[in-house]
Structure 1
């Protein structure tokens, strides 16, 4: 099945991996609903989409709020009538902190965006895909969702949770014609990772460098298409060998 004219929703699309995957999906002919809390970032992704001739729209939403998730799904359906691909990507890193010094407020914020946001996206997009009897979902976990990382207790817990949600959803909805996988990026040069010493080879895997957002987006495009048609419930490291 060609992805030409199919419809994708990408959350966290105002920058980084989400922007790169939005533009990559548009490049292969998909129509893309850009979702982000940051109006400036989302607007810039939309501008870039239009610049390359893509069919796209922007919806501002806080992925941790049920009503706003329901709304972006409803607006996408009103505009395009279906959802074929969902890159469930929005995330928040927070400040690396020793577990005993982690504030409750920061823990709650990280879990709300990274885990609850993925859960809510799955809940409402899966209802659409179940009615269609088709669809592909790519959740964004992290290398921190595969193994522990010091000073990142809440982030690591949230991303381990995304792995659990992915596997459960894949088991429940695979029989209904819906494939659900997760990508686990390592260090990626994005706005979220500014201030982290990612250019230090010691902080990366065997490739000794961080990834570009476009390198992660290439894997999203692969998982969205028929080339990955027998992949379901897969947890895919895209980390230069960091977790190998």
Structure 2
């Protein structure tokens, strides 16, 4: 098992890629904190993990609320004693809205969840990781953080910023035992894109197919494992070749 006895917090883990990451991490031996604003969904994922013989704790979290984030860390430390891995997975999409189509409240919501959320969660777990001299943070960005045209104005801006934040964290904390990397999924079949998937031309993807949630989860497992000990500050596309064109 690649993550045996590791303790992992995964935000947005009640569905989509977060759920796949939680299940896959658990199968690799990690103890999982299933963090999501959707508590019933988080409980269902925790029950699935328990049914497979793993250990999981569901916690309701609004990642934009500092009090929720503090409670998340406190509950995790009380339950498992440490935090080895943080996956900043929670995020929302803007359905390709241009700047003029995006009102201020929509902009703020996207930036808060996609960028402020990872910042707040990271700052909450970093002190305990630094005290132990080790820890791994994985930010789920997007190919929209590498190129334009895979999201709207707010989403594209937020994911570019997540990649920049990832690189800053890696530069600032690598010497203190903290590894930080970003995953940049292309079009992955998830509930987040279920309403638009039929309008996305698969012909634009060299692999001629969309990605699966489990493929992203397996990449996250690698980055969280000791096999990736020399990987710092990377922004890795998993997109069927979309960004090489």
Q: TM-score range by the shorter chain?
A: over 0.9
Deviation track 1:109-163 (CA, whole Å, cap 9, x = no partner) reads: 0000000001111111111100110011110000000011266100010001100
| 1:48, distance to aligned residue in structure 2 (A) | 1.3
1:214 has 2:214 as partner: yes
Alpha carbons 2:11, 2:18 under 8 Å: kept: yes
Q: Which residue of 2 aligns with 1:194?
A: 194
Q: Which residue of 1 aligns with 2:62?
A: 62
Query: How many Å separate the matches in 1 of 2:237 and 2:150?
Result: 19
The unaligned stretches of length 5 or more in structure 2 are: none
Q: Distance in 2 between matches of 1:120 and 1:61?
A: 12
* Residue in structure 2 matched with residue 181 of structure 1 by the alignment: 181
Q: Please state how far the C-alpha of 1:6 moved relative to its aligned partner.
A: 1.3
Equivalent runs, 1:85-124 vs 2, <5 Å: 85-124=85-124
Q: Secondary structure at the match of 2:243?
A: coil
The 1:82–1:150 alpha-carbon spacing in structure 2 relative to 1, beyond 3 Å, is closer
Contact 1:204 1:240 in 2 (8 A): no
Q: Which residue of structure 2 aligns with residue 43 of structure 1?
A: 43
1:136-215 → structure 2 map (5 Å cutoff): 136-149=136-149, 152-197=152-197, 200-202=200-202, 204-215=204-215
TM-score normalised by the chain length of structure 2: 0.95
Inter-partner Cα distance in structure 2 for 1:31 and 1:150 = 34
Instruction: Tell me whether 141-150 or 13-22 shows the greater mean CA deviation.
Output: 141-150
2:243 aligned partner: 243
In the alignment of these two chains, the number of paired residues is: 244
Residues 200 and 209, structure 1, Cα contact 8 Å, conserved in 2: no
- Name the CA distance, whole Å, in 2 between partners of 1:151 and 1:31: 33
C-alpha contact 1:197 1:203 (8 A) present in aligned 2: no
RMSD after superposition: 1.6
Give the unaligned 5+ runs of structure 1. none
- CA deviation after TM superposition for structure 1 residue 63, in Å: 0.6
Of stretches 142-151 and 162-171 in structure 1, the one that deviates more from structure 2 is 142-151
Length-normalised TM-score, structure 1: 0.96
In structure 1, how many angstroms separate the alpha carbons of the residues matched to 2:72 and 2:138? 17
Structure 1 residues 181 and 151, CA, compared in 2 at 3 Å: closer, same or farther? closer
SS of the residue 1:223 aligns to: helix
Contact 1:61 1:68 in 2 (8 A): yes
